[in-house]
Chains A and B, each alone.
Chain A
Amino acid sequence: MTGADSFSVRSLRGTDRRLWHLGWLPVLAALLLTLIGWEAIGTTEPGYAQRQLLFFPIALAVAVVIGWIHPRWMDRWAVPFYIVALALLLFVLVPGVPEALVRQRKGARRWINLVVVDFQPSELAKIGMILVLAQWLRAREDITKWQGLIVPAALAVVPFVLILLEPDLGTAMTLVPTAAAMLLAAGCRRRHVVVAMLVGAVLAPAAYPFLRPHQRARVDALAAQIVGDTRYARDIGFQADRAMTLIGAGGVTGQGEAGAQRLLETNALPEEHNDMIFSSVACRWGLRGSILLLAACATLSLGALAVAASVRDRGGRLIAVGIAALLGTQVIVNIGMNIGVLPITGMTLPFVSYGGTSLVASWIMVGMLWSVASARRADTLRAAFQLQR
């Protein structure tokens, strides 16, 4: 290890950090999304909005600290971080854990009670997977072959399965495109990815019988909803039906704060401040608000990809691509389920949905992007070169 690599404040920050770079794009987008989220949560739950406002400085502080740290440390801490995240995922699944620590909600064991806040290990696991995949892929040439994909696939599959067991199908599914995007960016052959996706597409219907009853019902409800069948609108399709109605009710200009508040309350949309926050946004601000939010999300994800394209360090690039894919997938899945093109899953809209863990985790990713983007080329090039065989 060189002197620069020894643990010190100077080494943590690294030298030659830039101030002006593409990392600002996701930062600004995340700020805008956080603002929209805070205002949207306040539509029906002003108390939650205040709490979200308290979470924001914490999330921002964590992001600033992470952004300040040089990306090489992410590479170093990737494996321990990944192991800790997996350990926490296992922890919530262990049967004997007291309910005071892991409380089962709606049949799922996803949260650890930290007294002041509930913490979701899966949020850490997503970041952990990105870090460990980036670390593994940055120095590999054999990913052009099938056998080269075994280790990265295993690194993704372990958290995938653990999250699936919680159960949290939505979060688990976000790991798939994230890992696929990172493999593509790392140089994996496209045809391998295409073949894997085709196999997945073919096998997906075969997985239907293994889904839990409520998951199968949601798929059925989505299929019915797409063909205009309202059979499920009063039970399993209730949430999606209400969400679409409220989004549509927003029109172009929106219903305003009072109108949206009334409609959201009387239409009894569940999770309107959380997973279904997009419906609140669309109802209150209409198409203008929806498109603004969508544009901010696009800026965030594409900005992350731009960051990836702008740096030479292979690990940093892959981290940025992973974050872009992860955030993009979350946005697409969340909005998709709100507008009735994807089944309902427990998936938050990054930066916008209410929830401390989600907000902090999302800002951690922004911090990681800042860190990657702000590292100078020479610095990163050398690191990348050193690791190449």
Chain B
Amino acid sequence: MSRGGVGTFRSGTALVAWVMVACFAVLAARLVQLQVLDHGTHIARAQSREAARTRSETVLPRIRGRIVDRNGVVLADNADSYEIALAYEFMTGEWEEERVRILEREAAGGRAALARVPAVERAALHDRAVKQAFAESGAIVKSVADAASVSPEVIETAMDEIVASVSRRGDAYRARLAARGTQAKERLREETEAHAVAESLPAEATFAVNKMQDRFPDVLEVRSAPRRVYPERQARVVLSNDGLPGRLGHRAPVQVHLTDVGDLIVGSVRDQVQAVDLRRRPFDGDTIDWGGYREASDLIGTRGIERAWEDTLRGAWGMRERRKHADDTVTEQILRAPVDGDDVQLTIDIQLQARAQAILSPEYGLTLSQQEFHTPNADMPRGIELNAVVVVVDIETGEILAMASQPGPAAAANMSDAEERARSPWIDRSVDAVYAPGSILKPIMYVSAVSGGSATPDEVIACTGHFFPERKDSARCWIYRPKYGLATHGPLSPREALARSCNIYFYELADRMGPQATVQWLRDWGLGSPLHVGLEGWRERSEGEFVRAGEAGGTVPSERRIQEWQSSRDRFSGVILGIGQGELSWTPVQAASALATLARGGSRHDAHIVMGRPIEGNRSEGSLGLDSRAVTNALTGMRSAIEASYGTANNVTTAAGREEIFGLPGVRVWGKTGTAQAGVWRLDTDGDGGADREVKDADHAWFAALIGGEGDARPRYAIVAVVERAGSGGRAAGPIAAAMARELVNLGYLRGEGARSRAIRPHGDEPEADE
């Protein structure tokens, strides 16, 4: 048979048949895969989409709690502000598809009627529905754009970005589920809910959108999204110069304009959720954490109380369910009402805080270098701004009334990068900077030594100028110097030793106690670990592991270090602990808290900044078991330091002669000066980022003052002031403590006898007028 005959035909046809059979076999195999092997996955996805189409959940926002001061003055509040959110389905275009279907049905008179519409008419009807749906979606976008005073393109870009971001996360989420072999939940919650496309809008801007919301409730939502405001952050403080030494005391009252009152304490928020938040508290974890974080607009504390009390302030989300029924009607139900965040009341008095910050301001002059009453230092330039801290603690309760740190955030705006790095205006030095304690530790060392049995309460120790008989250049008393003629204090009672701040007395006590006992006592006083005053926030130590951090704990020598001293027969390192030098450091708040504990006679009420809420780690029970006679002697010694003419806290020398540091009428003061050796200070005077000047003996100045009313047997408030690199504590930090005591008097804190006359007002009352 010729080519093209029956045989060839059959062979060609058979080939075609076999190809077809093979193709059908492939199709059948794929069907088995989809419908048998992967059925579980597909039915779950289909049902999930069914659920998403007919039911959606919207997370309801809540209002962040306020922060108020001890008198109820609102320090952090929420101002009315609105955001406009659009349904995710609207952003993806799915809404338009659905809307076309609804409009077609409406135009035809129902689903059944639509099916009877002839094809040509149906096509026209479809085209009209498409046009109308597009027009409606365009009008929705335009109304949002008008409300936000931007062009529709801006809103569309925002929508595109949201869709890109959410779908990326959704895909990653599904990939993770697939990797775990489960597809039970096919859509992320964010893929079914509304997202904000215009934020921070005033109420009037949303009026026009409200009408659109009434028309398209499933698309558009105007939500309350308050902004965080800090009403007390600005203050104009007028400070008198009463009691200030030298020329400063003869000026007209100084007006200081502050823009960061309480900023370091109250802190701030950001409005963008970050990955770290989602790692710490994801809203959609294995179970829903109603206080958790979502990829949505939110306020998150970044500093201060806002960060430390984030979990208290943020409240809990609510949930609303929306169901779409077969007749295209929509019903809503609140599944869980949102819970607003709790208010946090601080122990701070914002008026006193403002005055504390004003006292430390350069305008007031006490923190400028080389004032006439400061220790002269030829290396130190005159008039440069020094870092400083002042802390006021209520002795009875441990409540921190004020806590100022200079420079503050407002100063950062005028600093070069180099200066900002050098001066760290964002660090709250009260709780986050550590200094060697210097001599303000001496009362604590004395009481510890007596209470621990290493000395008797009235033990007299002779000052010989130097502690080690064989070494005159080591462990000396401050008075045993050539400029004082290598003088000594001679035999001293503990009261005199404290008033004169003799070093030898306290070297002797430290030597008797030994370093182990000394360190143990210091730990009991609160050194070596954070006080947990209430400013610690969550910090990620390693991926997914979060710890509370944000307060420094200072240092005490470790056991291993002490053993090293002992094995090398190093007595010196242990002995100098007695005068607050060597391997010791603490924060100003730790110092104020320890001195307040001393003033209370040893009962524990660690300093804290939040009222009425337990703070983990903050000790408020028990006692140090102090010897009462020792406590009395210590306080007497501190009183003498102020009152006796030989007391180190008695006076400063100015051009006019000797002037009392505390010349305040109606106030009783117990004080202790301290000068913490800080070595050479390398200064950058031209601000180019490199040190160009060295200042020797630039020590940190400490002053601890316990303040009471005139008739008080015991002090009521502890004030601790530090001026970095200012030299002698009494000269530089003393006037700051005195000015602070004056403001306590001015604000009525020392009225009455033995009790605080300044009543604490529950928050919620009207705040007092600005200064």
Is there contact, CB below 8 Å, between A252 and B39?
A: yes
Is there contact, CB below 8 Å, between A317 and B9?
A: yes
Is there contact, CB below 8 Å, between A325 and B16?
A: yes
Could you tell me the distance between the alpha carbons of A82 and B202 in the complex, rounded to whole angstroms? 70
- Does A80 sit within 8 A of B, measured CB to CB? no
Could you tell me the distance between the alpha carbons of A317 and B118 in the complex, rounded to whole angstroms? 39
Which residues of chain A in 117-172 are interfacial with respect to chain B, using CB atoms and an 8 Å cutoff?
A: 117-118, 140-141, 143-144
Could you say which of A8-16, A58-66, A68-76, A240-248 contacts chain B? A240-248
Could you tell me the distance between the alpha carbons of A354 and B744 in the complex, rounded to whole angstroms? 89
Is there contact, CB below 8 Å, between B42 and A248?
A: yes
Residues of B close to A51: CB separation below 8 A: 119
- Does B302 sit within 8 A of A, measured CB to CB? no
Could you tell me the distance between the alpha carbons of A301 and B17 in the complex, rounded to whole angstroms? 8
Is there contact, CB below 8 Å, between B116 and A301?
A: no
Is there contact, CB below 8 Å, between A249 and B42?
A: yes
Which residues of chain B in 687-733 are interfacial with respect to chain A, using CB atoms and an 8 Å cutoff?
A: none
Could you give, for residues 86-124 of chain B, a 1 whenever the CB lies within 8 Å of some chain A CB and a 0 otherwise? 000000101001100000000000001011111110010
Is there contact, CB below 8 Å, between A309 and B13?
A: yes
- Does A109 sit within 8 A of B, measured CB to CB? no
Is there contact, CB below 8 Å, between A184 and B31?
A: no
Residues of B close to A321: CB separation below 8 A: 12-13, 16
Is there contact, CB below 8 Å, between B20 and A230?
A: no
Choose among A105, A117, A228, A339 the residue that contacts B27 (Cβ–Cβ < 8 A): A339
Given the known interface contacts A118-B120, A186-B4, A314-B4, the answer about A251 and B35 at a Cβ–Cβ threshold of 8 Å is yes
Q: How far is the CB of B224 from chain A (nearest CB, A)?
A: 31
Is there contact, CB below 8 Å, between B31 and A247?
A: yes
Given the known interface contacts A234-B92, A247-B31, A301-B20, the answer about A187 and B8 at a Cβ–Cβ threshold of 8 Å is yes
Choose among B21, B123, B178 the residue that contacts A302 (Cβ–Cβ < 8 A): B21
Q: How far is the CB of B325 from chain A (nearest CB, A)?
A: 12
Could you say which of B46-54, B393-401, B537-545, B565-573 contacts chain A? B46-54
Is there contact, CB below 8 Å, between B9 and A50?
A: no
- Does A282 sit within 8 A of B, measured CB to CB? yes
Given the known interface contacts A45-B115, A266-B53, the answer about A250 and B35 at a Cβ–Cβ threshold of 8 Å is yes
Residues of A close to B35: CB separation below 8 A: 247-248, 250-252, 282, 286-287, 290
Q: How far is the CB of B616 from chain A (nearest CB, A)?
A: 45
Could you tell me the distance between the alpha carbons of A147 and B174 in the complex, rounded to whole angstroms? 56
Which residues of chain B in 1-19 are interfacial with respect to chain A, using CB atoms and an 8 Å cutoff?
A: 2-6, 8-10, 12-13, 15-17
- Does A181 sit within 8 A of B, measured CB to CB? yes
Q: How far is the CB of B47 from chain A (nearest CB, A)?
A: 8
Q: How far is the CB of B433 from chain A (nearest CB, A)?
A: 51
Q: Which of B3, B36, B41 has the most CB of A within 10 A?
A: B3
Is there contact, CB below 8 Å, between B38 and A144?
A: no
Could you give, for residues 238-275 of chain B, a 1 whenever the CB lies within 8 Å of some chain A CB and a 0 otherwise? 00000000000000000000000000000000000000
Choose among A302, A314, A340 the residue that contacts B20 (Cβ–Cβ < 8 A): A302
Choose among B13, B21, B26, B38 the residue that contacts A341 (Cβ–Cβ < 8 A): B26
Choose among B8, B13, B53, B54 the residue that contacts A308 (Cβ–Cβ < 8 A): B13
Could you tell me the distance between the alpha carbons of A181 and B662 in the complex, rounded to whole angstroms? 112
Is there contact, CB below 8 Å, between B171 and A105?
A: no
Choose among B9, B36, B39, B50 the residue that contacts A187 (Cβ–Cβ < 8 A): B9
Given the known interface contacts A249-B39, A262-B50, the answer about A50 and B27 at a Cβ–Cβ threshold of 8 Å is no
Residues of A close to B34: CB separation below 8 A: 244, 247-248, 282, 339
Q: How far is the CB of A208 from chain B (nearest CB, A)?
A: 23
Could you tell me the distance between the alpha carbons of A181 and B15 in the complex, rounded to whole angstroms? 9
Choose among B15, B46, B123 the residue that contacts A105 (Cβ–Cβ < 8 A): B123
Main secondary structure of the interface of A (DSSP, over half): helix
Which residues of chain A in 224-277 are interfacial with respect to chain B, using CB atoms and an 8 Å cutoff?
A: 228, 230-231, 234, 244-252, 262-263, 266-268
Q: How far is the CB of B717 from chain A (nearest CB, A)?
A: 65
- Does B415 sit within 8 A of A, measured CB to CB? no
- Does B208 sit within 8 A of A, measured CB to CB? no
Given the known interface contacts A187-B9, A249-B43, A251-B36, the answer about A294 and B24 at a Cβ–Cβ threshold of 8 Å is yes
Closest to B15 in A: A184
Is there contact, CB below 8 Å, between A305 and B13?
A: yes
Given the known interface contacts A252-B39, A262-B50, A290-B35, the answer about A297 and B118 at a Cβ–Cβ threshold of 8 Å is no
Given the known interface contacts A141-B4, A251-B43, the answer about A291 and B31 at a Cβ–Cβ threshold of 8 Å is yes
Is there contact, CB below 8 Å, between A328 and B38?
A: no
Q: How far is the CB of A100 from chain B (nearest CB, A)?
A: 9
Closest to A184 in B: B12
Residues of B close to A251: CB separation below 8 A: 35-36, 39, 43
Is there contact, CB below 8 Å, between B46 and A245?
A: yes
Residues of B close to A118: CB separation below 8 A: 119-120, 123
- Does B493 sit within 8 A of A, measured CB to CB? no
Q: Give the interface residue-count category, chain A.
A: 35 or more
Choose among B6, B31, B42, B178 the residue that contacts A312 (Cβ–Cβ < 8 A): B6
Q: Give the interface residue-count category, chain B.
A: 35 or more
Could you give, for residues 61-102 of chain B, a 1 whenever the CB lies within 8 Å of some chain A CB and a 0 otherwise? 000000000000000000000000000000010100110000
Is there contact, CB below 8 Å, between A246 and B31?
A: no
Residues of A close to B13: CB separation below 8 A: 184-185, 305, 308-309, 317, 321
Q: How far is the CB of B24 from chain A (nearest CB, A)?
A: 5
Given the known interface contacts A268-B53, A287-B32, the answer about A185 and B3 at a Cβ–Cβ threshold of 8 Å is no
Could you tell me the distance between the alpha carbons of A244 and B43 in the complex, rounded to whole angstroms? 10
Residues of A close to B8: CB separation below 8 A: 187
Is there contact, CB below 8 Å, between A287 and B24?
A: no
- Does B167 sit within 8 A of A, measured CB to CB? yes
Residues of A close to B41: CB separation below 8 A: 248
Is there contact, CB below 8 Å, between A184 and B16?
A: yes
- Does A47 sit within 8 A of B, measured CB to CB? yes
Closest to B168 in A: A231
Could you tell me the distance between the alpha carbons of A215 and B434 in the complex, rounded to whole angstroms? 68
Could you tell me the distance between the alpha carbons of A263 and B54 in the complex, rounded to whole angstroms? 11
Could you tell me the distance between the alpha carbons of A250 and B36 in the complex, rounded to whole angstroms? 9
- Does B629 sit within 8 A of A, measured CB to CB? no
Is there contact, CB below 8 Å, between A294 and B27?
A: yes
Choose among B4, B28, B31, B54 the residue that contacts A282 (Cβ–Cβ < 8 A): B31
- Does A173 sit within 8 A of B, measured CB to CB? no
Residues of A close to B215: CB separation below 8 A: none
Which residues of chain B in 548-572 are interfacial with respect to chain A, using CB atoms and an 8 Å cutoff?
A: none
Residues of B close to A263: CB separation below 8 A: 46-47, 50
Given the known interface contacts A47-B112, A141-B3, A321-B13, the answer about A113 and B42 at a Cβ–Cβ threshold of 8 Å is no
Could you tell me the distance between the alpha carbons of A250 and B43 in the complex, rounded to whole angstroms? 7
- Does A298 sit within 8 A of B, measured CB to CB? yes
Q: How far is the CB of B554 from chain A (nearest CB, A)?
A: 54
Is there contact, CB below 8 Å, between A246 and B46?
A: yes
Is there contact, CB below 8 Å, between B120 and A115?
A: yes
Could you tell me the distance between the alpha carbons of A332 and B20 in the complex, rounded to whole angstroms? 9
Given the known interface contacts A185-B12, A321-B16, the answer about A287 and B115 at a Cβ–Cβ threshold of 8 Å is no
Could you give, for residues 339-365 of chain A, a 1 whenever the CB lies within 8 Å of some chain B CB and a 0 otherwise? 111000000000000000000000000
Choose among A116, A266, A314 the residue that contacts B54 (Cβ–Cβ < 8 A): A266
Could you tell me the distance between the alpha carbons of A287 and B34 in the complex, rounded to whole angstroms? 9
Residues of A close to B119: CB separation below 8 A: 51, 117-118
Could you tell me the distance between the alpha carbons of A230 and B38 in the complex, rounded to whole angstroms? 16
- Does A382 sit within 8 A of B, measured CB to CB? no
List 26 interface pairs A-B (beta carbons < 8 Å), by A numbering.
A50-B115, A105-B123, A184-B13, A184-B16, A186-B9, A187-B3, A247-B31, A247-B35, A248-B43, A249-B47, A252-B35, A252-B36, A267-B50, A267-B53, A294-B24, A298-B20, A301-B20, A302-B21, A308-B13, A312-B6, A317-B9, A321-B13, A328-B20, A332-B27, A339-B31, A340-B30
Taking beta carbons and an 8 Å cutoff, which residues of B are in contact with A?
A: 2-6, 8-10, 12-13, 15-17, 20-21, 23-24, 26-28, 30-32, 34-36, 38-39, 41-43, 45-47, 49-50, 53-54, 92, 94, 97-98, 112, 114-120, 123, 167, 171, 174-175, 178
- What are the 4 tightest A-B residue pairs by CB atom distance, in nearest-first order? A47-B115, A248-B42, A187-B4, A184-B12
Given contact pairs A144-B3, A294-B31, a sample of 9 additional A-B residue pairs in the complex whose CB atoms are under 8 Å apart: A118-B120, A143-B4, A185-B12, A187-B4, A187-B5, A248-B42, A249-B43, A282-B34, A332-B27
